[in-house]
Amino acid sequence: MSGHGHSHGGGCGGNHDCDEHLTEDQLAAAYSLYTKINMEAVQCLNTDSPAKCVFKPWDQRLDREKYVESDADPELLFKIPFTGCVKLKGIIVIGGGGESHPNKMRLFKNAPEMTFDDVGRKADQEFELTPDSEGNVQYGVIAARFNSVDTLTIHFPSSFGGDNTKIYYIGLKGDFHEAPRQEVVIATYEARPMPDDHDTKSDFENFHHPIS
């Protein structure tokens, strides 16, 4: 039953607080996955705030100057494309004080076209959130489900009763691998032996002959 409510398997022995023994420097290094986000392509639906402002260094997590606030209702949908392939391991969410802090978080992997019309589908993992104003609570994701992520979509369906949801910081922890796909394709073409131009041309013409 892992992945629903508070029962989340993984190596954390529960839902959160795995990282409390780490130093500030170790936490800063662990939560540096924001550097691998394609910031210009980050989107958040139902807000006028710049979505990328909540993805920032660990030592800026308590900065309250910039934040994402929902618009018409408490729902927010972040779409976070990475510059390569990510194995996601943990998430920290710092929300607004009181009722504007999100109370649930739903994760979807590799669903870049997702909109609010699609949020009825089963999430890859869901969490009940604890109000967290300082980044003390880590939510450990099921690593096997998030071991090859190029886009992470996070749905915050509701808050703790407020009309709007406010988020100051989203910290992402995991491993990153450069995307090798493009280079592999190019190398494959270059390595292919070039056939005689004449033969290629005549075959091509014969094959496509009945055009006019």
Is residue 3 in a domain?
A: no
Is residue 185 in a domain?
A: no
Residues 6+ apart with CB under 8 A from 206: none
Is residue 188 in a domain?
A: no
The percent of residues in the chain predicted with pLDDT above 70, rounded, is 75
Average pLDDT over residues 42-57: 97
Is residue 14 in a domain?
A: no
CATH code where residue 53 lies:
2.60.120.470
Is residue 18 in a domain?
A: no
Element (H, E) at 26: helix 24-30
pLDDT over 80 at 16, yes or no: no
Per-residue confidence (pLDDT) for residue 22, from 0 to 100? 82
Residues 6+ apart with CB under 8 A from 124: 3, 107, 108, 109, 142, 145, 146
Is residue 134 in a domain?
A: yes
SS3 sequence of 171-194: EEEEEEEECCHHHHHHHHHHHCCC
Mean of the per-residue pLDDT values of the chain: 84
Segments forming the whole domain that contains residue 66 = 24-180
- Distance in angstroms (rounded) separating the CA atoms of residues 44 and 79: 6
Is residue 163 in a domain?
A: yes
How many domains does one find in the chain? 1
24: three-class secondary structure by DSSP: helix
Is residue 175 in a domain?
A: yes
For the whole model, what pTM was predicted?
A: 0.77
